[in-house]
Amino acid sequence: MPARSLYFSDPESVSVEERPVPDPDDDQLLVRTERSFISSGTELLIYRDEAPADIQTDETIDALDGTLSYPLQYGYAAVGQVSATGAAVDDDWIGRRVFAFHPHESHFLATPAEVVPVDLSPDRAALVANAEAAVNFVMDGRPKIGERVAVFGQGVVGLLTTAFLSSFPLGELTTVDCYEHRRSVSRQLGADRTRSPDADVGDRIGDTHADGADLSFEVSGNPNALDEAIQVTGYAGRVVVGSWYGTKPVQLELGGKFHRSHVRVRSSQVSHVDPDHGGRWDKDRRLALVQDLLADVDPDTLITDEFPVERAGEAYEALDSTPETTLGVTLTYD
C-alpha cells in the first residue's frame, strides 16, 4: 500500500495524497503510523482559515516547515512503530513504538533524536503533545497549596490541565465550558465545580477571606473567555493564557477594576521551557513526566471519535460542527 499524507488544501477542505513509501537515509528511521491525534485548537484555526498565513509553521519542529499558507501539511502528534532503519542506526529500533511531532501521514522518516520511545498504548501515546502543553501550563501557573483555581475551556488540553491540577492540594478547582459533556468529563477528572460561561462565574469563586480566583487558566481558544478569566481573578492573582487565537480579535475590558487589581497576565506556550524553569527542566525531562502522568489517564474519557485517514474530511467536519459531542479525534492508518 502506498504512503498517504494529509494536506490542508483550502479553507474547510483537506485532501489525502498518495506517494511511495520512502526509504530511510543512513541516519534515519522509517515509522509506520498507527494513530495521529488532531490538535483541535491549532488545526481548526488552519481548517477555518483563521491562522495568519505568513507565520512560520513551527520553528522548533523540523518536520513542520514553511508557513501556514495553503496547501500545507500539519499535525504534531503521530504514534507508530519503527519498520526500517538506515545503515547507521541500530537495528534494535525496529518494532519499537515511538511518538513524533509530525504531520498526519501513514509513513514518515525521522532521526532517532526526533522521536520519543513510548511504553504507552497507541491512544495514550497520541495524547503526548496535548499533555505536554497541559504540563507546561501548570508549571507556568505555579499553583500553591489552598489556592482557588479556574480553568476556562475543557477541550482535550483543558481537560488534561484539569486532571493534572487535581493532584495539587488546592482550595477549589473550578472549570468553565459551554458544553455539558465536557463539564461532565472535567468532574470525572477531578474538578470540584463546573460552570457554563453564561453563569455568573465570578460571584461563585472566592470566600470570606479573599475575592475571586487566585489563578486562572484560559485554554478555550475563545477570545471572549480571556476577558472573563481576567474578571474572575482576584486582587494580585495570575492569569495564564494558553490559547492561540490566530487572527481572531481579542477585546478586553481593562478600564474597570483591572487597573488597580495588580492581576498578572502571562502567555504560556509549549515549544520552549520557560527560562524560570530552565535550570532544572528541559524538554526531555518534561516529556518523561508526561508519559508518567498519562499512564493514569483513561484515553477513552478524552477520545470520542476515530476515523481512517481516508475520511479525514469527516473528522475535521465533526470537530468543527459538533463540538458539543466531539471531543478528541484520532486518525488511524491500516
Assigned C-alpha cell, 331: 486518525
Q: What is the mean pLDDT of the chain?
A: 93
In the chain, count H helices and then E strands.
8, 15
As a residue count, the chain comes to 334
Q: Quote the CA–CA distance of 161 and 130 in Å, as a whole number.
A: 9
Q: What is the pLDDT of residues 121-142, one digit of tens each?
A: 999 999 999 999 999 999 999 9
Domains and CATH numbers, the chain: 3-127+299-332 (3.90.180.10), 130-267 (3.40.50.720)
State how far the alpha carbon of 178 is from the alpha carbons of 3, 101, 239, in Å. 39, 30, 20
Rounded to 10°, the helix 128-141/156-165 angle is 50
Backbone φ and ψ of 136, nearest 5°: -60, -40
Res 1: pLDDT: 84
Indicate if the pLDDT at residue 70 is higher than 80: yes
Query: What is the chain's percent helix, strand, coil content, to nearest 5?
Result: 30, 30, 45
Assigned C-alpha cell, 122: 497507541
Q: Give me the percent of the chain exceeding a pLDDT of 90.
A: 80
Q: Can you say whether the dihedral through the CA atoms of 188, 189, 193, 198 is positive or negative?
A: negative
pTM: 0.94
286, 293 Cβ separation under 8 angstroms: no
Res 256: pLDDT: 83
Q: In b/e form, how buried is each residue of 80-116, taking b as 16+ CB within 10 angstroms?
A: bbbebbbeebeeebeebbbbbbbbbbbbbbbebebbb
Mean pLDDT check: name the lowest of 43-47, 66-70, 184-188, 218-222.
Answer: 66-70
Mean pLDDT check: name the lowest of 24-28, 110-114, 273-277, 320-324.
Answer: 273-277
175, β-bridge pairs: 151, 194
Backbone φ and ψ of 134, nearest 5°: -65, -45
196, 258 Cβ separation under 8 angstroms: no
